[in-house]
A = this chain, B = another copy of it.
Amino acid sequence: MAQYSAVLDGVFIALADPTRRAVLRRLGRGPTSVGDLARDAPMTLPSFMKHVRVLESNGLIRTAKSGRVRICELNQERFALVEDWLTEQRRIWTDRTDRLERFVTNPKEEQ
């Protein structure tokens, strides 16, 4: 559980940056080289590479050398962590609404 929580911390941190979200968006359309991705980013290559490493170390993308080029690919499964967390929150809210409804319908049941 603590490990899952740490992974979730990292995923949310990785998502908390517009450059990194733009990379994820671009990779949603298919694998792309670091060079091509960097061309769209308004910063130096070393600065851009830091963002790539944050995404990779938190499992949102995978990268692999192909000859002299490094190709980045989305790891869609990682997004499920965030979706699962959101679904769990919604479940808690729904449970609360259900409890309130039961209380309104039959107050004695809850005492």
Contact = CB atoms under 8 A, between A and B. Distances in A.
Interface of A: 5, 8-10, 12-13, 15-18, 21, 24-25, 28-30, 74, 76, 79, 82-83, 85-86, 88-89, 92-93, 95-96
Contact of A96 (B15, B30, B92, B95): B30
Identical chains bound together, number = 2
A16 B18 contact: no
A34 to B, nearest CB: 20
A88 B30 CA distance: 15
Q: Which of A15, A74, A76, A88 has most chain B Cβ within 10 Å?
A: A15
Contact of A16 (B9, B30, B88, B96): B9
